[in-house]
């Protein structure tokens, strides 16, 4: 790790905290720098080969550098890659998304999940003429002022900024409810519902560990939003194409008014997307008064990589492999920890999971906060020494891909058991 350590020192002289996104600085004892990725593996500049369960924080559902995507990107790139005019690729990828999400008839491509969320919120406000939005404590929706908001005082519905630089006045327009608790939503909506433009939610909370929705929670939100004339924004930046074709909406049988997508739909290249029915999307520029624009919107390389990725997902057993890997890992982790007498909860949905060192169900941000995050960090550190990379935070997800075959999972569980045995001593 000598080269990474030196580079990290150098990086701190020119990059804030030595990184370009904060979670990367949490890797212990210091971030490794990457030379390349192939299949389920990352190779560091020090030559360490790591089984990767971070997968770029979700996008790489086929693993690193899958052949089809590499070929399509390389074939395309000699044609140039930015025209300031549309390409047929944008039409093709939008058609795929429309065919997979019944709630989406029109799409706008942007460059990140955060941008998609910012656009969706502006669109919801423009469409309804209302100012407030309702979010859930513990859900993350990108580096966007309106959603960098946490619960305020117990008596207040409105939130307070979770980042310096977000004005109180902005945070006050965001109401904060409790995930998996329809009663908390009802209470807020009874008081404020007529001013609420949208309820925004991660259909599976993937940024506080992995927390699936309780039976009926998402359909309850759908019903409450309808009752108050608010829009339901399902933030499928993580779950879109990860829970399967059609994302969480198909998996849980619920329709959004506005959907935000990102990550997988760009095959690992920068992307975000907003989708909804015509009547809502037609409020966006150039058709309507709600502004959105972007130099890189619909970038051809992101379109090519996204199309290639989705085509593989549609036509191969990629989901089968990735889902099997996640299930085996979840069961294996729970089994090893149980055998060593360590309290744990493993939450699982297709292709993603997280382990919490706690007793009792983990159903919201409060129950997740009770878990031993320090022990998780120790697990991260020890696994890394043994060639397995899980996120350096309890409050991220463990992702699997179609490159995580049985051998990779067997090897991971072997290393996991070794680490747990050591931790017990």
Q: Which residues bind ligand PLP (CB under 6 A)?
A: 57, 112-114, 117, 140-142, 202, 206-207, 235, 237-238, 262, 272
Distance (Å, whole) CA 419 – CA 379: 7
Closest CB 194 distance from ligand PLP, rounded Å:
27
| Helices and strands in the chain, H and E counts | 14, 16
Closest CB 129 distance from ligand PLP, rounded Å:
25
Closest CB 240 distance from ligand PLP, rounded Å:
9
User: Residue 66 or residue 113: which is nearer to ligand PLP going by CB?
Assistant: 113
Point out the catalytic residue in the list 132, 135, 172, 263.
Answer: 263
Burial of residue 307 (number of CB atoms within 10 Å: 0-12, 13-18, 19+) = buried
User: DSSP secondary structure string, 289-305?
Assistant: SB----TTTT-HHHHHH
User: Residue 40 or residue 113: which is nearer to ligand PLP going by CB?
Assistant: 113
Closest residue to ligand PLP, judged by C-beta, is 113
User: Residue 114 or residue 161: which is nearer to ligand PLP going by CB?
Assistant: 114
User: Residue 8 or residue 57: which is nearer to ligand PLP going by CB?
Assistant: 57
Phi and psi for 106 in degrees, rounded to 5? Answer: -135, 150
Closest CB 393 distance from ligand PLP, rounded Å:
12
Closest CB 207 distance from ligand PLP, rounded Å:
5
User: Residue 234 or residue 321: which is nearer to ligand PLP going by CB?
Assistant: 234
User: DSSP secondary structure string, 105-155?
Assistant: SEEEEESSHHHHHHHHHHHHHHHH---EEEEETT----S-GGGSEEE--TT
User: DSSP secondary structure string, 71-115?
Assistant: HHHHHHHTT-S--SS--HHHHHHHHHHHHH-TT-SEEEEESSHHH
Distances (CA, A) of 256 to 55, 143, 144, 146, 356: 27, 22, 20, 20, 30
Alpha helix locations (H) across 144-235? Answer: 168-171, 182-192, 217-228
CA angle 371, 51, 48 (to 5 degrees): 115
Closest CB 396 distance from ligand PLP, rounded Å:
9
Q: Is 319 a catalytic residue?
A: no
Closest CB 317 distance from ligand PLP, rounded Å:
26
User: Residue 148 or residue 375: which is nearer to ligand PLP going by CB?
Assistant: 148
**Which residues are CB-contacts of 254 (< 8 A; sequence separation ≥ 6)?**
203, 218, 219, 221, 222, 234, 248
Is 332 strand, coil or helix?
helix
Point out the catalytic residue in the list 8, 140, 251, 252.
Answer: 140
Is 182 strand, coil or helix?
helix
Q: Is 282 a catalytic residue?
A: no
User: Residue 66 or residue 142: which is nearer to ligand PLP going by CB?
Assistant: 142
Q: Is 140 a catalytic residue?
A: yes
| Active site amino acids | 140, 235, 263
């Amino acid at each position: 790790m000598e080269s990474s350590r030196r580079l990290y020192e150098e990086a701190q002289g020119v990059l804030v905290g030595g990184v370009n996104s904060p979670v990367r600085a949490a890797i212990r004892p210091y971030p490794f720098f990457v030379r390349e990725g192939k299949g389920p593996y990352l190779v560091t500049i020090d030559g360490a080969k790591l089984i990767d369960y971070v997968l770029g924080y979700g996008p790489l559902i086929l693993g690193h550098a899958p052949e089809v995507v590499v070929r399509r990107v390389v074939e395309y790139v000699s044609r140039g890659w930015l025209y300031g005019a549309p390409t047929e690729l944008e039409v093709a990828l939008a058609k795929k998304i429309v065919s997979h999400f019944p709630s989406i008839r029109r799409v706008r491509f942007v460059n990140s999940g955060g941008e998609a969320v910012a656009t969706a919120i502006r669109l919801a406000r423009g469409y309804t003429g209302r100012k407030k939005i309702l979010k859930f404590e513990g859900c993350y929706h990108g580096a966007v002022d309106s959603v960098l908001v946490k619960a305020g005082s117990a008596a207040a519905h409105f939130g307070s900024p979770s980042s310096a630089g977000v004005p109180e006045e902005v945070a006050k327009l965001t109401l904060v409810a409790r995930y998996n608790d329809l009663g908390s939503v009802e209470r807020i909506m009874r008081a404020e519902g007529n001013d609420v433009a949208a309820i925004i939610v991660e259909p599976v909370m993937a940024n506080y560990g992995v927390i699936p929705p309780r039976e009926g929670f998402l359909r309850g939100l759908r019903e409450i939003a309808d009752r108050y004339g608010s829009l339901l924004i399902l933030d499928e930046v993580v779950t879109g194409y990860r829970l399967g074709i059609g994302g969480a909406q198909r998996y849980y049988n619920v329709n959004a008014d506005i959907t935000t997508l990102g990550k997988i739909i760009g095959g690992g290249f920068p992307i975000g997307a907003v989708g909804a029915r015509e009547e809502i999307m037609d409020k966006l520029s150039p058709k309507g008064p709600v502004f959105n624009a972007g130099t890189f919107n619909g970038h051809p390389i992101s379109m090519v990589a996204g199309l290639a990725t989705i085509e593989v997902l549609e036509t191969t057993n990629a989901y089968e492999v990735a889902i099997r890997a996640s299930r085996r890992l979840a069961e294996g982790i729970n089994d090893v920890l149980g055998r060593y007498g360590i309290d744990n909860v493993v939450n699982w949905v297709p292709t993603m999971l997280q382990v919490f060192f706690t007793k009792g169900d983990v159903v919201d941000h409060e129950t997740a906060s009770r878990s031993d995050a320090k022990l998780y960090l120790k697990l991260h550190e020890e696994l890394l020494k043994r060639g397995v990379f899980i996120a350096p935070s309890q409050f991220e997800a463990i992702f699997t891909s179609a490159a995580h075959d049985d051998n990779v999972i067997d090897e991971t569980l072997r290393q996991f058991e070794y680490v747990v045995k050591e931790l017990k001593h």
